Amino acid sequence: MGKSEIRTETARGARTPRKTSSATRPARRPAGAKTETPYHHGDLREALLQAAERVLERDGLSGLTLRAVAREAGVSHAAPTHHFGDLTGLLSELAAVGFRQFNAAMASACDTATTPLARALARPKAYVAYAQAHPGMYSIMFRTERLDYSRPSLNEAAEASFAGLANAIGMMRQEQISEDSLTLNQGAAIARAWSMVHGFTMLLLDGRLEDILGRLPEGTTAERLLEAMLTAPVTGKLPGP
């Protein structure tokens, strides 16, 4: 073989592309694919609940789906189903979280009150404040038709909330109130207090109190209106027969 032929073969060999086995070539991630966030089993459940709360407060109940929660948490779409079963299960566990937060906020407010009047007002004020800060969570806590109260976590948290209310009414009435058996007067006192504060809260969240607040002296807040409502004596004559 002549020198020219040797040079030609050498050049041809240099131009020949080197074949790479597909087994050794790193796989390419599809465009737009997201990396899943790694979690330990217990941490993933908590992360999903936190993600659900963010979605609820940002997008409302209509935007809270299992897939939306999975996207928010950065995990597979199957993860919420694995941990909660279905949307009702997720909403129920989320409501349980809400009740625990709610109860803790009211207990903390009562603990820091220094006078009997302050203690009497602390719980309802904390009730309203929690709802204002977490309107989405507050709304789902009272959507009974969307929740499964057979779940222990939700049942226990809701019962603890009622027990706190009953104890607060008992302190105001200066009597012990049983959670399992109420007199008619005790039941009426609990229902009256709950109806007043829950009704006030819903009107406030819906913007229905703006008309009243706009007619009050300048600077009067919703909290001050609540205080006045709770401390004002019930006066007036009953209608005749």
Please report, for the chain, the start and end positions of each structural domain, with discontinuous segments joined by +: 41-85, 86-231
pLDDT at position 179 is: 77
Alpha-carbon distance of 236 to 52, in angstroms, equals: 48
Confidence label for 239 from pLDDT (cuts 50, 70 and 90): low
Token duo for residue 63: 């935007």
CATH superfamily, domain 41-85, is Homeodomain-like (1.10.10.60)
pLDDT tens for each residue of 45-78: 999 999 999 999 999 999 999 999 999 999 999 9
In this predicted structure, what is the pLDDT of residue 94?
Answer: 98
d(CA 110, CA 45): 31
In the chain, % of residues over pLDDT 70: 79
C-alpha dist (Å) from residue 43 to 73, 102, 116, 184: 11, 22, 42, 46
Q: Which two tokens stand for residue 154?
A: 């939700």
Q: Please state the rounded mean pLDDT for residues 121-135.
A: 96
Report the C-alpha gap between 59 and 72 in whole angstroms.
Answer: 12
Is residue 130 within 8 Å of residue 101, measured between CB atoms? Answer: yes
| CA end-to-end distance (rounded Å), the chain | 129
What's the pLDDT at 171? 87
- Does residue 38 surpass a pLDDT of 70? no
CA distances from 104 to 111, 161, 176, 212 (A): 10, 9, 22, 31
What pLDDT is stored for residue 134 in this prediction?
Answer: 97
CA distances from 78 to 17, 64, 66, 120, 139 (A): 44, 15, 8, 47, 26
pLDDT average, residue stretch 28-52: 69
* Angle, CA 211 vertex, CA 209 and CA 214 arms, to 5°: 105
**Mean pLDDT, the chain, integer:** 85
- Distance CA(66)–CA(175), nearest Å, equals 46
- pLDDT(2) > 80: no
pLDDT at position 32, please?
45
Q: 167-223 pLDDT, tens per residue?
A: 999 988 889 998 789 999 999 999 999 999 999 999 999 999 999 999 999 999 999
Which pTM does this prediction carry?
0.78
User: Does domain 86-231 fall into CATH 1.10.10.10?
Assistant: no
Distance CA 178, CA 198 (A): 22
What does the pLDDT read at residue 31? Answer: 47
